[in-house]
């Protein structure tokens, strides 16, 4: 049994930039830069008031096509008409597997580290399941488990699936608030900004050798 674990986010860590993918959709529909992100951030900020559009898809409460329709309606309210179908698929079209964090995970795993994907999902059909299955011992996807980051419960669920204590694990994400929660639970939190820095921090925390 391994005595250490590596938990890794998906979008923006194992893929290209979320922002660039969203921007490509905006350009295709003549929408000003940042409009979609601002609409979604507004939804996050409004969760406590019952405006739970983003929570609904990340927790698997609504299907992709319902989210498409609701987001299209919000864009229409802001003055931008887009087809109310296939929005999620096209928003994430640019977020294909990319970067060297894949190599970091593979090398850590080859040296006896248990690995887990911990991802907030917008639908569950866009993940490269076969590749992820070969790379990770555990897959925890928000829309499948009914929990989402930064809720500590989804971190604990992942630790339980790995059979490890928080202090034995490293968590990598590109969002500060998620990393902060991991740290509060006792994990080593790594805020992903570039592959080389992430590799060095993960190697140091886990006591493994990683070469990029």
Grade residue 50 by pLDDT with cuts at 50, 70 and 90.
very low
Q: What is the pTM of this model?
A: 0.89
Residue-level pLDDT at 44: 61
Show the DSSP H helices in the chain as ranges: 18-28, 35-45, 53-58, 64-77, 87-91, 101-110, 129-135, 142-145, 152-162, 176-184, 195-206
Residues 98-130 have pLDDT tens digits of: 999 999 999 999 999 999 999 999 877 778 999
Residues 57-84 have pLDDT tens digits of: 899 988 888 988 988 998 898 899 999 9
pLDDT at 208 over 50: yes
Cα separation, 49 vs 66, in Å, equals 20
Grade residue 15 by pLDDT with cuts at 50, 70 and 90.
very high
pLDDT at 94 over 90: no
- For domain 5-16+96-206, give the CATH number: 3.40.50.1000
Residue-level pLDDT at 46: 53
pLDDT at 178 over 60: yes
């Amino acid at each position: 049994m391994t005595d250490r674990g590596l938990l890794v986010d998906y979008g923006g860590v194992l893929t290209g930039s979320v922002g660039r993918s969203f921007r490509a959709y905006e350009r295709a529909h003549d929408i000003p830069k940042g409009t979609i992100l601002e609409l979604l951030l507004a939804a996050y900020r409004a969760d406590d008031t019952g405006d739970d559009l983003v929570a609904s898809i990340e927790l698997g409460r609504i299907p992709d096509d319902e989210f498409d329709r609701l987001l299209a309606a919000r864009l229409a309210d802001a003055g931008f008409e887009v087809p109310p179908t296939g929005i999620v698929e096209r928003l994430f079209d640019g977020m294909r597997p990319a970067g060297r964090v894949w190599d970091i995970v593979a090398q850590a795993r080859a040296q006896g580290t248990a690995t887990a994907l911990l991802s907030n999902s917008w639908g569950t059909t866009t993940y490269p399941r076969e590749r992820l299955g070969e790379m990770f011992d555990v897959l925890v996807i928000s829309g499948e488990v009914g929990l989402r980051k930064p809720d500590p419960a989804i971190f604990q669920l992942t630790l339980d699936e790995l059979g490890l204590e928080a202090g034995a694990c490293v968590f990598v994400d590109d969002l500060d608030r998620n990393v902060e929660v991991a740290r509060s639970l006792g994990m080593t939190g790594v805020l992903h900004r570039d592959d080389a820095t992430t590799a060095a921090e993960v190697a140091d925390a886990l006591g493994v050798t990683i070469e990029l």
